[in-house]
Amino acid sequence: MPNKKKEKIKSKNFSAKKTKEQPKKKNSESAGALVSEKSKKSWNVLRGMHDILPREEKYWKVLYHTAEDLAETFQFGRIDTPILEEANMFIRSIGKGTDIVDKEMYIFDDQDGTKICLRPEATPSVARAFIVNGMLNYPQPVKMWYWGPMFRHDRPQAGRYRQFHQVGFETIGVMEPAVDAELILLAYNFYKDLGIPVEIHVNSIGLLEERDRFKTELTNYYRTKRSCLCEDCRHRLTKNPLRLLDCKEDQCQPIKDEAPQIIDWLSENSKNYFMKVLEYLDELEIPYILRPTLVRGLDYYTHTVFEVYPAAVSIENECEQENSQNSSGNQNAQSALGGGGRYDLLIEDMGGRPTSAAGFALGVDRAVILMKQMAETGQIKIPRREYDVFFAQLGDRAKARAFRMIDTLRHTGISIGFNFYKNSLKSQLELANDLKVPYTLILGQKEVQEGTIIIRDMESGIQEIVDQKKLESAIKRKLKKFDVSVK
RNA sequence: GUGGCCAUAGUUCAACGGUAGAACAGCGGGUUGUGGUCCCGCUAGCGAGGGUUCAACUCCCUCUGGUCACCCCA
């Protein structure tokens, strides 16, 4: 026995070698540079980039349709801005000192020397479009949504890519708590419609002056405790004081607990504005968590800011319950699904008239990852394309005829699965089975001659021979979806 | 950007300093025109480049990519 096996393997190897080596020689001799030895190098995707494959398309499709549907019901118009923009536009609006600007932008020299970049996000682009296209003359507010790739040269991780996709909604031109609430509702509904439970973290960072006053207060407070701080926090103290409140180091916790809170530094107006937003959220029964330490990284935010997280996962720091069991355990850096807020200063800052605005962006890739997980564990179901019938053909004449018949039936509302590259009936029925069609049409030489076709009930296996001319009506009679037999 | 871990077939995983295995997927069969189950066969791989060694998928280095934490963010 083992001997036989060895022999087999041997001969297999020989034949494999032959077939493998032959084409190599041919190629390198005859095909020239195109298939030279050098070009045998295999190409990797660029770091942090990834292919979105056909088998993942279903998730993207569901996500897109959900967003589109929400956009339409909430009357957001679609805007598509270029992927390439002037680098300075983002540097100015997002702000120096932020990671996005300082280390994550893809910046190039254009042919004429202009510094251009791959957009790291789309809000400044939308604001630019608002200004450039004179949208201040549109009925206000102007509500727009977008969907597309963004680029940040970050260190990749699961759910963090250098090219990633965001879907975003912006409402420009009105300063109204209802705007903020509507946007939060939209973000919340997006995941709700997808069957992904989320929670919303909200906070207000008030006006620029209020925030600045708070910042100096916070810095003063922290300076006195400088020696007790972790290394990161010492850094934050000068670089990004608001982030001090986000520190996860144990040694900083007691200091954090005593630290001043931004809410206390907001003016009455700002506080009232925020309260009204929260009232709407209560009314809408959106599960939100007030997170006084929530600040957003980008310079242009004012007043309401919010972030979206998967519901099971909550920020440990904020949970004062001492549930040490971290059963969900998913609290990682990539758990934020989206975020946004009000940015009343951006448009003016970009050269437009002073214009209130608010918006948010959601990470599509992260939603895809979540959906995949949930689909695998059966928590959600992703609908797949359903075919009414499968068309199986046998023989050349039948194939040609089938081709034609399928093309004719295209506009009848009957969806047909088929595969003209498989010739055996067996393999075609296997495909029919995979597609879970209720019926398979079988057309062979005999049927072509007789002008008939077989309709096979896939469940019972019962077959019926019908005239080709009556095929459409015969199928429709069988299919429930055409059961409009309203006498 | 900082630190850690990882890299074997399309996928999930084995094994071994000396011939790389399995499962699933894919393809083809189980008599010529009948699927879901079952049986059989085939296809397909050591991320790249150096070094150590008689011999490296295995040890070392570099690169590349992934991943985790941090930074930060979507």
pLDDT 10s digits, A422-438? 889 999 999 999 999 99
Which nucleotide across the nucleic acid strands is nearest to A161, CA versus C1'? B74
Q: Is the CB of A328 under 7 A from strand B?
A: no
Q: How many CB atoms are closer than 10 A to CB A125? A: 23
Cα–Cα dist A79/A172, whole Å: 13
Q: How far is the CA of A236 from the C1' of B70 (A)?
A: 14
Q: What angle do CA A17, A23, A24 make, to 5 degrees?
A: 85
At residue A485, the pLDDT reads 56
Of A28-32, A202-206, A256-260, A347-351, the range with the lowest mean pLDDT is: A28-32
Amino acid at A11: S
Which nucleotide across the nucleic acid strands is nearest to A340, CA versus C1'? B74
pLDDT, average across residues A278-289: 96
At residue A41, the pLDDT reads 62
Q: How far is the CA of A159 from the C1' of B70 (A)?
A: 16
Residue with the two structure tokens 């399928």:
A406
Of A208-212, A250-254, A337-341, A442-446, the range with the lowest mean pLDDT is: A250-254
At residue A5, the pLDDT reads 35
Element containing residue A362 per DSSP (H, E): strand A357-363
Q: Residue A443, Cα to own-chain centre: how many angstroms?
A: 43
Ramachandran sector of residue A373 (left: φ over 0; alpha: ψ -120 to 50; beta: rest)? alpha
Per the structure, the residues numbered 201 to 220 in protein chain A that have their CB within 7 angstroms of any atom of strand B are: none
* A156: preceding bond cis by omega (within 30 degrees): no
The reply to whether A301 sits in an annotated binding site is yes
At residue A234, the pLDDT reads 82
Tens digits of per-residue pLDDT, A445-482? Answer: 999 999 999 999 999 999 999 999 999 999 999 987 77
Report strand pairing: A389-393 vs A439-443. Answer: parallel
C-alpha pair distances (Å), A363 with each of A159, A291, A335: 9, 21, 10
Dihedral sign of CA atoms A163, A164, A170, A176 in order = negative
Cα–Cα dist A341/A304, whole Å: 5
Which nucleotide across the nucleic acid strands is nearest to A366, CA versus C1'? B74
What angle do the packed helices A177-194 and A57-73 form, to 10 degrees? Answer: 150
Q: How far is the CA of A351 from the C1' of B29 (A)?
A: 72
Per the structure, the residues numbered 48 to 107 in protein chain A that have their CB within 7 angstroms of any atom of strand B are: 48-50, 98-100, 103
C-alpha pair distances (Å), A308 with each of A5, A23, A136: 59, 55, 30
Report whether A143 contacts A74 (CB < 8 A). yes
Quote the longest CA-to-CA distance of chain A.
Answer: 96
Burial of A64 (0-12, 13-18, 19+ CB in 10 A): middle
Amino acid at A244: L
At residue A483, the pLDDT reads 67
Q: Is the CB of A399 under 7 A from strand B?
A: no
A236 phi, psi to nearest 5 deg: -60, -35
Confidence of residue A35 (pLDDT cuts 50, 70, 90): very low
Task: Order the strands of the A288-290 sheet from edge to edge.
Answer: A77-78, A142-151, A163-172, A357-363, A338-342, A302-310, A198-204, A288-290
pLDDT of A37 over the 70 cut: no
Q: CA end-to-end span of chain A, whole Å?
A: 71
A301: closest CA among A44, A15, A94?
A94
Which nucleotide across the nucleic acid strands is nearest to A9, CA versus C1'? B19
At residue A438, the pLDDT reads 94
Q: How far is the CA of A200 from the C1' of B56 (A)?
A: 54
The reply to whether A366 sits in an annotated binding site is no
- Residues for chain A: how many in total? 487
- Which residues have CB under 8 Å from A450's CB, separation 6+? none
Of A299-303, A318-322, A419-423, A437-441, the range with the lowest mean pLDDT is: A318-322
pLDDT of A179 over the 50 cut: yes
Q: Which long-range contacts (CB under 8 A, 24 or more apart) does A99-108 make?
A: A99/A154, A99/A297, A100/A152, A100/A297, A100/A298, A103/A153, A104/A152, A104/A153, A104/A154, A105/A152, A105/A153, A106/A151, A106/A152, A106/A153
The reply to whether A296 sits in an annotated binding site is yes
Residue with the two structure tokens 């040609």:
A400
| Residue A455 bridge partners (DSSP) | A441, A464
Of A2-16, A212-226, A449-463, the range with the lowest mean pLDDT is: A2-16
Report whether A96 contacts A102 (CB < 8 A). yes
Per the structure, the residues numbered 349 to 378 in protein chain A that have their CB within 7 angstroms of any atom of strand B are: 361-363, 365-366
At residue A62, the pLDDT reads 94
pLDDT of A85 over the 50 cut: yes
Cα–Cα dist A192/A199, whole Å: 10
Task: Calculate the average pLDDT of chain A.
Answer: 84
Which nucleotide across the nucleic acid strands is nearest to A331, CA versus C1'? B69
At residue A40, the pLDDT reads 53
Q: How many CB atoms are closer than 10 A to CB A187? A: 27
Q: How far is the CA of A208 from the C1' of B5 (A)?
A: 43
Report whether A363 contacts A166 (CB < 8 A). yes
Per the structure, the residues numbered 294 to 313 in protein chain A that have their CB within 7 angstroms of any atom of strand B are: 296-298, 307-308
Confidence of residue A28 (pLDDT cuts 50, 70, 90): very low
| Percentage of the residues of chain A whose pLDDT score is greater than 90 | 62
Give the CA radius of gyration of chain A. 30
At residue A486, the pLDDT reads 47
Tens digits of per-residue pLDDT, A378-421? Answer: 888 888 888 999 999 999 999 999 999 999 998 999 999 999 98
Of A193-207, A216-230, A234-248, A382-396, the range with the lowest mean pLDDT is: A234-248
Element containing residue A68 per DSSP (H, E): helix A57-73
Of A93-97, A252-256, A309-313, A400-404, the range with the lowest mean pLDDT is: A309-313
- Which residues have CB under 8 Å from A45's CB, separation 6+? A51
